[in-house]
Amino acid sequence: MTVSVFEMEVLESVANDYEGLHTIQEDLSRSLQREVSSEELGAAMVRLISSGLVNSFSYDAPSGAFQQVAAPDRTSIADLWFLLSDAGQDVLPD
C-alpha cells in the first residue's frame, strides 16, 4: 500500500496512544500549519483502518477498557478512538 504524506502524519498522530478524531484533527492542523477538515481526516482514517494500518476502538466506561471494533464508515468514526496497528508500526520510519 502506498501511504500519502498526509496519511503518514495521521499514522504518527496515533502511534503512541489511543486518540480521538477531534484531537488528531487539532494536532494535525497545528503541526501542518493549515486547516485539516473533518472530511479529509475521516477519509484518510477510513482508508488506513481498511488497510490494516490503524485499529479503531470504542471505549467502555464501566470497565474502563477499549474494545476493538470493525472498520467504521465515515458516519460512525467520530465516536471512536484510534491506535496504530503492528502493520502501521512497520510503515513508520525508525
Domain CATH for 86: 1.10.10.10
Range of the domain at 43: 5-91
Residue pair 29/35 in contact (Cβ under 8 Å)? The answer is yes
Q: How many domains does the chain have?
A: 1
Residue pair 52/63 in contact (Cβ under 8 Å)? The answer is no
Chain centroid to Cα 4, Å, comes to 14
What does the radius of gyration of the chain's CA atoms come to, in whole angstroms? 13
pLDDT exceeds 90 at position 77: no
The pTM of the full predicted model, rounded to 2 decimals, is 0.89
Residue pair 21/14 in contact (Cβ under 8 Å)? The answer is no
pLDDT on residue 10 = 97
pLDDT exceeds 70 at position 75: no
> 86, 19, 27: which is closest to 57 by C-alpha?
19
